[in-house]
Amino acid sequence: MEQPLVEFSDIYKIYTMGDTEIRALDGVSFSVHKGEFLAIIGQSGSGKSTCMNIIGCLDVPTSGTYLLNGTDVSTLSDNQLAEIRNEMLGFIFQQYNLLPKLNVLDNVKLPLMYRGLKDSEQTARAMEALDRVGLRDKCRHKPSQLSGGQQQRVSIARALAGSPSVILADEPTGALDSKTSREVMDFLAELNQNGNTIILITHDNSIAATAKRVIRVHDGKIIYDGPADGDDIIRSTVLSQKEKEAAI
């Protein structure tokens, strides 16, 4: 079996507040292979965001081992971490994180600029990514001239432009209405069908239902890891949604 892209082995993240010890992650182990579409789901304070920060090399565990494509992340320098974030990971955020003064094309080119690629290659790769999200004709627009859904697609294009090993999507529909949320999730599912590895962080059961596999975390521990349709909470959420839609 091929090496996992992401591998957590007995990961703990412990914070101390006065005399109180808070275990944001409490002995978490899981792996993610190429081509998976995984949702890490949990309520606020469950540990899902801590998982994302460690996967994204934005934070380090208190103990345990995190391997990214076989590399022990704890052995890397700050410069190496910045490089691995830029080359191996594509980030999609709830608030898009687009720079308002730059046009769409320049926003998508940003991570490629940090790699030191020639401007012609930056432009070609950024335009190809915009093509994939259906926004090639908006390349000269500023973010403020786009809808929320279009801005999120720009942030997806920015993540895709670097051809990352893993796309990390942190509550990617949190700022969108339900119709646009569904469009964005359908698009992420399409990217996965085309071979992209996606790790989705969400508190929303209906959004997590788009993924093929779900890890549910509670109080820093994994309480479910399996197919999305095997999770009772997700299944009941999807069924109740279908009942509401049928009643309209």
Encode pLDDT of 37-75 as tens digits: 999 999 988 999 999 999 999 999 999 999 999 999 999
- For 180, half-sphere exposure in the C-beta direction (CA atoms, 13 angstrom radius) is 13
Let me know: does 155 contact 161? Beta carbons within 8 Å.
no
Which residue, 133, 212, 128, 139, is CA-closest to 163? 128
Break the chain into its structural domains and give their ranges: 6-247
What pLDDT sits at residue 85? 87
H or E stretch at 30? strand 20-32
Alpha carbon distance 205, 187 (integer Å): 18
Both tokens assigned to 241: 């949604």
What pLDDT sits at residue 231? 86
Let me know: does 21 contact 71? Beta carbons within 8 Å.
no
Let me know: does 43 contact 239? Beta carbons within 8 Å.
no
Both tokens assigned to 183: 């469009």
Alpha carbon distance 112, 102 (integer Å): 15
- For 215, half-sphere exposure in the C-beta direction (CA atoms, 13 angstrom radius) is 23
**Chain centre distance of CA 176:** 16
- Tell me how crowded residue 246 is: count the other CB atoms within 10 A of its CB: 7
Q: Enumerate residue ranges in the chain where pLDDT < 70.
A: 1, 244-248
Let me know: does 216 contact 224? Beta carbons within 8 Å.
yes
DSSP state of 53: H
Q: Which amino acid is at 21?
A: E
Fold classified for 6-247? Rossmann fold (3.40.50)
What pLDDT sits at residue 248? 59
What pLDDT sits at residue 247? 62
Which residue, 195, 197, 170, 172, is CA-closest to 183? 172
DSSP state of 45: T
CA-CA-CA-CA torsion sign (94, 78, 39, 211): positive
